[in-house]
Structure formats: C-alpha cells, structure tokens
Copies of this chain bind each other. A is one copy, B any other.
Amino acid sequence: MPVWPALAGADQLSSNPTTGAPGGSTDPLPSWRSGEARRRILAFLEAVTTEGGAGYVPPEQRIAVFDNDGTLWSEQPMYVQLAFAIDRARALLRQQPELAASPVIAAAASGDGKAVMALGSRGVLELVAQTHAGMSTEAFALLVSRWIHTARHPVLGVPYTQLIYQPMLELLALLRSRGFRTWIVSGGGVDFLRVFAEETYGIPPEQVIGSSIQLRYGESGGEPELLRLPEIDFIDDGDGKPVAIHRQIGRRPIAAFGNSDGDLAMLRWTTAGPGERLGLIVHHDDGEREVAYDRLSAFGKLDVALDQAGSRGWTVVSMRRDWGRVFAGAARVKPGRSPNSSR
C-alpha cells in the first residue's frame, strides 16, 4: 500500500479554493501547466460552447460526471469514508465493548484500513452495516457533518477537505462557468458525500450519485423519518456507474473524469456517444507531492482504463507534470519514498 510522504506544512492555503484564480489572473486553470491535458480540456470547452460550430452542445446537455475518491480528493492512505467508519467503530466499541468479538469491528478499531479491506467485500459491507445504519437519515447526516469538520488526515494532520485537488476545483468552476452541470458519481456512500459536497466542491446534493444502503419510511415519535437499514441498496462502481447515471440523470454525459478501473464503464459510456466528448483520467504519478500508485493498490487500482486510454482517446493527466499545484489546502509535502510507484 502506498505510504504518504510526511507533511512539510499546510503552508499554501488557497485564498479562494472554489475558483482557484489568484487575484487579477484571467487564466481559468492557473494550477494546470501547459501541455496536452490542459490543451485538450480547453479545446473541448471551446468546441462544445461555440454557437454555430460543428461541435456545439446546447447547455441542457452539458453534463460532466466526476468520480470522487482519487479524482476530486485524495484516497490515500485510505478512502476518507473508511476513516469515518474506523472512527465510528471505535466510538461504538466504547459504548458496546462486546463488539470486540466482531472481526471487522476489531480490525476497524485498530485503525488499519488495509486490514479492513483485506476482509473483502463482505467485511466492508458488515462494517457499513454496523457503522452507517440503524439511525435516521438526519441523525446520520449530523454524525458525518461533525466528523468531517473535526477529523484530521492521519499523516498530514489537516482536515480532509483541504486534500481536494486544486486543479480539479478549477476545472469544476470552469465547466460551470461554461454552462455545464457538474455531478459526482462515486463508489462512496451518497449520504456521506452529500453532507459536504456543496461546501467543498460547489456540487448540490441532487447532483451527487453514490452507493446507498436501503431506507425504510416510517414514523418515530409521531414524526416521519427515513431509517437507514443494514442492507446494501446499490453499489455505484464499475458497471454500476452508467446504470446510476441513466437512472438519476437520464441523459448521457459528454465529459467524464475518473482515476481507476471503477470509472472504466463511466468513461466508456460517456465517450462512446456522438459528437465532442471528453474522457479524462487522473494518474497518480507524483510521489513527491502526493503518492505514486496505479496498477496494484488496495485503493484506486488503475489498470485496464490506463491501457485503453490511448485507443479510446482519453486524456491521461500526469499529476506530476500537468499540475502546478496539487492540493487546495496543503500544497507541498516533503519528498518521500513511493514503494508502489507508477511505471
């Protein structure tokens, strides 16, 4: 598993992370260095927004879909939602010590995300059932809100919301300024993401698609509520992504952004449509400023999608070469070893 280099300091906080544009600059993508990736993004936007041009797309069809973990924010050393589940497991264990008998709760409470993932999908689902269910949607949102505003990244010591990628924030803002609606299509839990997606990315709850557990409508104390049940409803990953896009958006996007094979079907579905299309893969090849990893990883495996990028016309963004700045909140970290570096 990749190990994050030690933090030098959160010394380059963005004054305006939503637009990313430093005062006075008219460059809409100041953190994107000159190169093929930047050029392709701007050429695509020019083509689809030029009225009368061959590639023009009317605003209502300008839909862009973004994976979240590893695409909009860091997924290292573990998915942020897994860190939440670990903290929840610890809190539950304090209240109910008998839960120590559960292998998945014990693994989670030890703080070892890799050990939890090693328990496989059944283990992860049990962890979700134990830590994400058995309460109303409103109670869950409150738990997540408290957590996301107080938790700190285990290595860098900063809030997770500072570990969003500044270049992607600029891209989100640029797309919106060109009439696009930006959607998140994540394997993570939709009710987790929605708590902070609006303040963090400017993406409203109704434009967040994710995995979900089942809900039951009923009354509690004379008031209606939606109770979160310990049963999976939908896994929004892999082939599930185009299914969820169709179900919730009902139109095919014209731009898709991902970073792993979990985004392969979404990229393919998006870019196989007629007319101008943009498919983009964020390639984690920067072992100095983030973590270099791709083919083999407990989190965020990028393999088939990387191999297909050339033939499909997808743009592979090298974080190392294409991004002048990585994080919105903590821009520079000390150099360190990257045991699972990109090839």
Contacts and interface: CB of A to CB of B under 8 A. Distances in A.
Interface of A: 60, 137, 181, 190-191, 194, 204-206, 208, 212, 215-218, 223-224, 226, 233, 239-240, 242-243, 246-251, 265, 268-269, 272
28 contacts: A60-B204, A137-B246, A190-B247, A190-B250, A191-B250, A194-B250, A205-B249, A205-B251, A206-B248, A206-B250, A208-B250, A212-B247, A215-B243, A215-B246, A215-B247, A216-B239, A217-B239, A217-B240, A217-B242, A217-B243, A217-B269, A218-B239, A223-B272, A224-B265, A224-B269, A226-B242, A226-B269, A233-B247
A140 to B, nearest CB: 11
Given A224-B272, A242-B226, A251 B217 contact: no
A223 B204 CA distance: 32
A315 to B, nearest CB: 19
Contacts of A60: 204
A217 B272 CA distance: 13
Oligomer: number of copies: 2
Given A223-B272, A226-B243, A243-B226, A217 B265 contact: yes
Nearest to A209: B248
The 7 closest A-B pairs by CB, nearest first: A205-B250, A217-B239, A194-B250, A206-B249, A215-B243, A217-B242, A224-B272
Contacts of A240: 217
A268 B226 CA distance: 12
Nearest to A244: B215
Nearest to A223: B272
Contacts of A265: 217, 224
Contacts of A205: 249-251
Given A60-B204, A217-B269, A226 B246 contact: yes
B224 A242 contact: yes
A206 B251 contact: yes
A137 B246 CA distance: 9
A272 B225 CA distance: 10
Nearest to A246: B226
A222 B213 CA distance: 33
A264 to B, nearest CB: 10
Nearest to A265: B217
A281 B330 CA distance: 53
A162 to B, nearest CB: 24
A44 B203 CA distance: 28
A207 to B, nearest CB: 8
A235 to B, nearest CB: 13
A167 B337 CA distance: 67
A279 to B, nearest CB: 12
A206 B60 CA distance: 10
Nearest to A222: B272
A226 to B, nearest CB: 5
A182 B110 CA distance: 47
Contacts of A269: 217, 224, 226
A217 B269 CA distance: 9
Given A206-B250, A224-B242, 5 more contacts: A60-B204, A216-B243, A224-B268, A226-B243, A233-B247
